[in-house]
Amino acid sequence: MSEIVERPPVRDIPVAVAGDLVLVREPGMLVSAGAFTVSSSGFEFELHVAADISDPAVQLPLHMFSVERDWRADCTWMSIGYADGRACDASMLWCTLPGEDSRKSEDIRVGFLFNPDEAGRSSRWWVSPLPPPGPLALTIHLNGRAGPVGTASLDAGVLLAAAAMVEKVDA
């Protein structure tokens, strides 16, 4: 099993992977994942929420939650699932979710890197280690709605092929 790295390796020159995934497409809202880059020990991606905030029926999926309450009832969160069954849940605002019933994998880390925009509609995420061959699933759950709202998958082989092309900067 690959080593888990908490942040992208600073000596890696990441390789970009073409393609975007649409996780949610509903009236007034689109949630997508894209701008995938691969390093030697994981991958990054951008999660983007486009919403018509002038429409009162559209709720931006970024509610905070209290660790004393059931976080699934209040917040937006995503799941990363590997083809071998490993998975990890992460809050849009906190990374790994609190509580006994969240899937906190000892084998996968999902880390929040930053929000490139002040509205909080885009965020950059780091996932380590690299997934095994097969489908890599990203699932989004919005504002405590029952069940997943949207899922899309990417062939992990594309990420693994890109990882083989990563160059390291000499120290």
Domains in the chain with CATH codes: 12-168 (2.60.40)
Q: Where are the alpha helices (DSSP H) in 9-166?
A: 156-163
Task: Report pTM.
Answer: 0.81
Question: How many percent of the chain have pLDDT more than 70?
Answer: 68
Q: Are 130 and 41 in contact (CB under 8 A)?
A: yes
Please report, for residues 16, 59, 88, the alpha-carbon distance to residue 80 in angstroms, rounded to integers and kept in the order given. 19, 23, 5
Amino acid present at 51: A
Higher pLDDT, 16 or 114: 16
Neighbours of 3 (CB within 10 A): 9
